[in-house]
Homo-oligomer: A and B are copies of this chain.
Amino acid sequence: MFRHTDHLQFDAKPEKPDPVYAHKLQELIGGAYGEMTVTMQYLFQGWNCRMPGKYKDLIMDVATEEIGHVEMIAIMVARLLEGAPATATTKMAAADPVVGAVLGGMDPQQAIVAGGGALLADSNGYPWNGRFIIASGNLLADFRANAAAEAQGRVQTARLYNMTDDPGVRNMLKFNLARDTLHQNVWLKAIEELQADGLETTVAPNALFDEEYAEHATSVWHLSDGTAAQEGGWASGLQPDGQHEFGYLTDPEALGDDGAPPPPDPALYATYDGGMGKPSGPALGTETGIAGKIKDKFT
């Protein structure tokens, strides 16, 4: 269960309205790497975490903070839209270059749909959606996704920092940049600790190493014509997991068959000249279990 205070985690007061920048800031709300993504990603990771204790508590602490980041930026957007020339006509825009420059850069839905407020969408107006998050239950895979999300988030925040010189907006972004720095360090540390605690290793998941074809876990295949890739540390030497050696396959050949699909079911009307014969029948089960026994008895 959650509780809320109207006070923002940090100030979000622009010095002046700027509806064009309000449009761009939507990226930090509803973009694939915006605050909504980290909020819901961490909440679902926390709810799906199978171990009470420090990992789950950390996830829920950070998740709960991130809802407050969505809030801060949503409020900032509303404030940047104050006094926006929302209902200015095109005639005004065409007659006044200043109005024209502003109108051209605004998000029409912030006025028409949200009445001067933020949308749950990115800077191209595409809505945030649930496929942007990942919560697999495997904490190594998930913490890596978290460190990546915080890195992309800080890159985007830094770019947006350079797109404004409003002291109030920059004030908020200086806080957000700092939190993104911290959270990158937090998830990197949590990955270290998962390994130190013996819960995970370098490769996720820590399983099926005996089943996978070890000889194919070693070499980068050279399939594009630039040849510098073999100069990197990934072309020879010990792999980060400490188990495999890196290699580099300079002239790889396809190992597989000719990739022909099977003959088609005539009732599906694929164009077909009969050259591969008829399709085999379904062969799904052994039918040696109960159903098989039943069939034997009754037919």
Q: Which of B9, B20, B228 contacts A57 (CB 8 A)?
A: B228
Q: A263 to B82, alpha carbons, bound, how many Å?
A: 7
Q: Are A239 and B185 in contact (CB under 8 A)?
A: yes
Q: A141 to B156, alpha carbons, bound, how many Å?
A: 10
- A84's nearest neighbour on chain B, judged by CB, is B282
List, in ascending order, chain B residues with CB within 8 A of A122's CB. 109, 125
Q: A9 to B257, alpha carbons, bound, how many Å?
A: 8
Chain A residues numbered 260-292 whose CB sits less than 8 Å from any CB in chain B: 260-265, 267-273, 275-276, 279-292
B-contact bits for A230-252, CB 8 A (1 contact / 0 none): 11111000011100101000000
B-contact bits for A179-212, CB 8 A (1 contact / 0 none): 1011011101110111010011011111111011
Q: Are B240 and A78 in contact (CB under 8 A)?
A: no
Q: A192 to B202, alpha carbons, bound, how many Å?
A: 14
- A120's nearest neighbour on chain B, judged by CB, is B130
Contact A224 B60, CB 8 Å, known A124-B124, A194-B271, A279-B82: yes
- A26's nearest neighbour on chain B, judged by CB, is B108
Q: Which of B82, B124, B258 contacts A262 (CB 8 A)?
A: B82
Q: A289 to B81, alpha carbons, bound, how many Å?
A: 24
Q: Are B259 and A71 in contact (CB under 8 A)?
A: yes
Q: Are A18 and B205 in contact (CB under 8 A)?
A: no
Chain A residues numbered 22-55 whose CB sits less than 8 Å from any CB in chain B: 23-24, 27, 30-33, 36, 40, 43-44, 46-55
Q: Are A259 and B87 in contact (CB under 8 A)?
A: no
List, in ascending order, chain B residues with CB within 8 A of A295's CB. 290
Contact A98 B287, CB 8 Å, known A192-B240, A224-B57: yes
Q: A43 to B67, alpha carbons, bound, how many Å?
A: 10
Q: A4-B224, A11-B256, A192-B233 are in contact. List 4 more A-B contacts (CB 8 A).
A: A2-B4, A4-B225, A137-B270, A177-B208
Can you report 20 A-B residue pairs in the complex whose CB atoms are below 8 A from each other?
Answer: A1-B256, A3-B224, A8-B254, A8-B255, A16-B283, A50-B271, A54-B228, A57-B224, A57-B229, A61-B221, A93-B105, A95-B286, A113-B156, A115-B137, A115-B159, A116-B137, A127-B131, A140-B271, A154-B203, A290-B299
* Leading 10 A-B pairs by shortest Cβ distance: A104-B104, A124-B125, A100-B101, A8-B256, A115-B137, A94-B285, A120-B130, A137-B270, A127-B130, A57-B226
